[in-house]
Structure 1
Amino acid sequence: MSWIEAIVLGIVQGLTEFLPVSSSAHLRITSAIFFDQDAGASFTAVTQLGTEAAVLLYFAKDIWRITRTWVVGIWDSSVRGELDYRMGWYVIVGSIPIGVFGLVFADQIRTAARNLWLVAAVLIIFAFVLAFAEYWGRQTRTIKDFTLRDGVVMGFAQAAALVPGVSRSGGTLTAGLFLNLTREAAARYSFLLAIPAVVMSGLFSIPDVFDNSGDGSIPTPAQMVVATLIAFAVGYVSIAWLLRYVAHHTLYAFVLYRVALGSLVLALLITGTISAT
């Protein structure tokens, strides 16, 4: 991997991780168009440690409050009715689907799921699913109305994002809208829900990212660190922007973007400009 590739992919990861446009799809597409190779699923997983570090920093007070209340609630039944205690369990339960599917389909996620024909199709198909959710969701429920059912449904939606093109944030936002949550409530839970799965995936992928037995570009440890730090810095800014944006705007701009990007990739594949694998 060249330094310019590491820097560009770190920026792309930070810009797209929290938007409903699929950061894994963007890394895959950027690698194919500009660098003629796939940086790989492990590179994506490790750079996500940077963006999740941004989440930990941005939501540090919320995370500490939820964690403390959840731990206290294990022993003290008087706090079990509080939202923070319940939210701790919602994040734990909601993280189970992606953990199970990630282990069961690990090989497919690293190989067949990264085919650009599939990525382009998924970008377009799920754009219309997101549009449908935006149109029909009543957005009458806030984070205070969150239930275990919401956590489970959004957990399965997050698991769908193991396929590049779905988008982890896009899947959870879509599910939240179908559950009549406000966009801001769905986004806040989405940020919290990502922490266990993304951190564990990133840590387990560190040895694989330097494995030179397969195809594609292999970063040096220094390049991996720089890409992850860039993803952290850009991602931190992106969190604040997205929370402000979803509070006052619909998600249709992202729908149009997904369709346009998916169509562009299909055109490049049809003309033989880029390879699907």
Structure 2
Amino acid sequence: MTLFEIIILAIIQGLTEFLPISSSAHLILPSEVLGWNNQGLAFDVAVHVGSLLAVMIYFREDIWRLSLAWFGQGFSKQQSTDSRLAWWVIIGTIPAGAFGFLMKDFIEVYARSALVIATTTIVFGLLLWYADAKAKQIKKIEHIGLKETIFIGIAQAIAVIPGTSRSGITMTAGLMLGLTRDAAARFSFLLSIPIILAAGLFSTLDLVESPEAIDWSALLYGAAFSFVAAYACIYLFLSWISRIGMLPFVIYRLLLGVILLIFVFA
């Protein structure tokens, strides 16, 4: 890849990992529209590392607080708000981890087509609009319980299907349960940490077994630009989401889905 391609793909990954607009839908565009080559497994690992560092640094105080609470009170009868939330992050990760592990090969073979991604981009975009428009949006993140966690966790598992958007569907589920936009987004971002970490570890294992040549400068640039884009994305999204709502992202998803359909049937 050229440096220009590295920068563009890293920024796309960093932004779309956390915005409710589907990273897979965007990463297919350069190859479909511009004819770029696949970025390769090593680059995927690098940009995911950048995104993971961004969300962990942004939520470093939350991670530290939840970790202390979980180790201190996570196995006691008297649970604090933070120890419960730590449990919810762990439990909410299980469905996606299990589904992703079991369905990985099937998804790779049958669900990575432009038609599937275009369809899911539109369908789940409309579902996001409905949830944002109709939900009560009164619950804060500390009001999340086991039932809410399981519901959001199952929603996150569905995001294994390309085009769904992990952040988009978890926020949609949170809004349907009555969470505020800020609470739905924050819980979605906290849930992303173990999922991105697990995906990065599995990709790293695949990379170790792969004969693919590694361009270390490309990986460094990819991780760096992905980190900057992801951190800026999280900061701005949480600053604006309560005011602007989900409608701009819904409109964007619908336009993106239509563009992909045009390329599919052109």
Which bin holds the TM-score, normalised by the shorter protein?
Answer: over 0.9
1:275 paired residue number: none
CA shift at 1:46, angstroms?
Answer: 4.5
Distance 1:103 1:61, change over 3 A: same
Task: State the Cα distance separating 1:163 from its structure 2 match.
Answer: 1.6
Q: Which residue of 2 aligns with 1:121?
A: 119
Deviations 1:147-169 (A, max 9, x none): 11111111111111112211011
Residue identity matched to 1:231 = S
- The correspondence for 2:223, drawn from 210, 223, 228, is 228
1:97 corresponds to: 95
Q: Which moved more, 1:39-48 or 1:6-15?
A: 39-48
> Which runs of no fewer than 5 residues in structure 1 stay unpaired?
272-277
> Structure 1 length as normaliser, TM-score?
0.89
CA distance in 2, matches of 1:109, 1:45: 19
How many angstroms does 1:113 deviate by? 1.9
Distance 1:127 1:25, change over 3 A: same
**1:193 and 2:191 are equivalent in the alignment:** yes
Shift of 1:114: 1.4
What residue in structure 2 maps to residue 50 of structure 1? 50
Q: Higher mean Cα deviation, 46-55 or 84-93?
A: 46-55
| Percentage identity across paired residues of the two chains | 38
Measure the CA separation in 2 of the matches of 1:96 and 1:61.
24
Contact 2:43-2:222 at 8 Å conserved across structures: no
Write the letter of the residue equivalent to 2:96. I
Once the two structures are TM-superposed, the CA of residue 253 in structure 1 deviates from its matched residue by: 0.8
Aligned-residue CA RMSD in angstroms? Answer: 2.0
| 2:145 counterpart (133, 144, 147) | 147
- Could you tell me how far 1:35 is from its partner in structure 2? 3.4
Cα separation, 2, equivalents of 1:27 and 1:173: 21
Give, in angstroms, the shift of residue 123 of structure 1.
0.6
1:162 aligned to which of 137, 160, 163: 160
- Counterpart Cα distance in 2 of 1:256 and 1:219: 38
5+ residue gaps in structure 2? none
Q: Do the aligned partners of residues 47 and 109 (structure 1) sit closer, same or farther apart at CA in structure 2, a change above 3 Å counting?
A: farther
Q: Is the 8 A contact 1:7 1:230 kept in 2?
A: yes
CA distance in 1, matches of 2:231, 2:5: 21
Q: After the TM superposition, which parts of structure 1 deviate over 6 Å for at least 4 consecutive aligned residues?
A: none
Counterpart-to-counterpart distance in 1, 2:153 and 2:20: 16
TM-superposed deviation, 1:76: 4.9
Q: Which whole-Å CA distance do the structure 1 matches of 2:206 and 2:3 have between them?
A: 19
Distance 1:128 1:54 in 2: 29
Q: Closer, same or farther in 2 for the Cα pair 1:269/1:76, shift >3 Å?
A: closer
1:3 is aligned to: 3
CA distance 1:116–1:209, shift in 2 (3 Å) = farther
Q: How many residues are matched? A: 265
